Amino acid sequence: MKAPVVSRQGRVLANVHNVPEYRAAARRVLPRGIFDYVDGGAEDEVTLRHNRDAFDRWGFMPVWGPVTGPDTTTTLLGRTSALPLALSPTGATRLIHPEGELAVARAADVAGVSYGLAGLSTVPMESVADQFPDLDRWFNFGLTSDRGHMKAKLDRCAASGYRALTVNVDIRALGSRERDRRNGLTAPPRLTLSSLIGIAARPRWWVNSLRAEGIRFPNLEASDSNDSMVSPSMWQQILGHSDSSKGWDDLEALRAAWPGRIVLKGCVNPDDIVRAVSIGLDAVQLSNHGGRQLDHMLSPMDLLRESRQRVGNDIELYVDSGIRRGSDIVKALALGADACSIGRAYLYGLAAAGSPGVSRVIEILADELRRTMTLVGVSSVAELKERGSEVLREVGR
Ligand SMILES: Cc1cc2nc3c(=O)[nH]c(=O)nc-3n(C[C@H](O)[C@H](O)[C@H](O)COP(=O)(O)O)c2cc1C
């Protein structure tokens, strides 16, 4: 007989066995409005649902033969990663857990995978760097036409040792997340009666949030602004993050100004990926922002094979949007991705069990990845990428 686990966190860690179950556990912990902020998508959530179907459309055709390992290590942007997996930037993470981005960074550090800190993160980029100097840190960089301003921001990233910048091309406008609007989680927030009831129904979250420091966005602009979440200037900056005026020349200027790596995030169009190669970017993260921006946008899985065929091995390709299982990672790699990235999966772990919950989600995905690779018949990430077309077929074809 195992001794009973008494703490709530301990019970979650002992009894939750996959990412969908972590989602259910997060739902039990978070107020309705915060859960919806994490879980929801744009408009009718067609893309949000399609992101799962896009993985289910592919099936394995295992090859028989001995398997060793399997070895899940790979190289991303010239650095070894323990898994073909990264943690994507997610804004306002301290809404989900008081330790926020630091809890996520700790789990990424332990797992030996990279973490992209959001521009809208709620801890300063310097704190993550100080506490986790060996973590492979990427920063979600907002393009700006003001070159002086850009330089100040780049200096700040370089001074705190961020190795790569992730630049969005999917936020020309803010996606209309109607769950957030119903819950009053807008910019600035407008708390509705139902959102207040949702908060009252989760007293533990409320107590933890009250004990923690107020939510701020200390990486916005070059400022070390102490503005709180309720100040109008802060919301102007947040809304300013969506900007339809930016184009390829801004990316070229960034390429010229930043000697480190640059990852373009948020496109699925092969023509854009070819263009990213032509201006010397290092990777493209195929993404529809987890279905949070443009509803009815295609999934990375719909265009991944075509994109890889178009660009050959000239650039690294990552896939996010809908990854919930290790088998999803195997499918993406078999179709031409170098790695996958997760957003909600780790946020569910964070909500349910803090940093150990994020670690557990990564372990679950790693375990599923290894088992799937073994059952499919490949011994390493390199072999999976090489023999992908031998082991995967579109279901029904
Ligand atoms: C709550 C939340 C906040 C996010 N904030 C950002 C952000 O600030 N910058 C960004 O590039 N992507 C952001 N994303 C998108 C993720 O980086 C990632 O592309 C997406 O979550 C992948 O889909 P998945 O959640 O199905 O794994 C956010 C996603 C979520 C769920």
Dist. CA 336–CA 21, nearest whole Å:
29
Residue nearest to atom 15 of ligand 1 (CA): 289
pLDDT tens, position by position, 252-273:
999 999 999 999 999 999 999 9
- Which pLDDT does position 13 carry in this prediction? 94
- For 181, phi then psi, to 5°, come to -65, -40
Query: What is the share, in percent, of the chain residues with pLDDT greater than 90?
Result: 78
Cα end-to-end distance, the chain, whole Å: 49
Structure tokens at 192: 């509705």
Instruction: State the SS3 of 18-74.
Output: CHHHHHHHHHHHCCHHHHHHHHCCCCCCHHHHHHHHHHHCEEECCCCCCCCCCECCE
- Which pLDDT does position 189 carry in this prediction? 72
Q: Which of residues 220 and 24 earns the better pLDDT score?
A: 24
pLDDT tens, position by position, 87-109:
999 999 999 999 999 999 999 99
- Catalytic positions, written as ranges: 289
Distance 341 CA to ligand 1 centre (A): 10
- Which pLDDT does position 245 carry in this prediction? 86
Dist. CA 368–CA 327, nearest whole Å:
7
- Which pLDDT does position 40 carry in this prediction? 97
Instruction: Compute how many other C-beta atoms are within 10 angstroms of the C-beta atom of residue 252.
Output: 14
Residue nearest to atom 5 of ligand 1 (CA): 90
Distance 102 CA to ligand 1 centre (A): 17
Ligand 1: atom nearest CA of 38 is 1
* pLDDT, mean of residues 348-370: 98
Dist. CA 174–CA 156, nearest whole Å:
26
Instruction: Compute how many other C-beta atoms are within 10 angstroms of the C-beta atom of residue 3.
Output: 5
* pLDDT, mean of residues 301-307: 98
Within 6 A (CB) of ligand 1 lie 37-38, 51, 88-91, 118, 120, 140, 168, 265, 287, 289-290, 292, 320-323, 342-345, 347
- Which pLDDT does position 323 carry in this prediction? 98
Categorize the per-residue pLDDT at 193 as very low, low, confident or very high, splitting at 50, 70 and 90.
confident
Dist. CA 54–CA 45, nearest whole Å:
14
- Which pLDDT does position 203 carry in this prediction? 81
Distance 379 CA to ligand 1 centre (A): 31
pLDDT at 311 over 70: yes
- Which pLDDT does position 220 carry in this prediction? 81
Query: What is the share, in percent, of the chain residues with pLDDT greater than 70?
Result: 93
* pLDDT, mean of residues 115-122: 95
Q: Range with the lowest mean pLDDT among 18-32, 159-173, 185-199, 271-285? A: 185-199
Cis, peptide link before residue 70, omega less than 30° from 0 = yes
Distance 290 CA to ligand 1 centre (A): 6
- Which pLDDT does position 226 carry in this prediction? 56
- Which pLDDT does position 233 carry in this prediction? 61
Ligand 1: atom nearest CA of 93 is 1
pLDDT at 76 over 80: yes
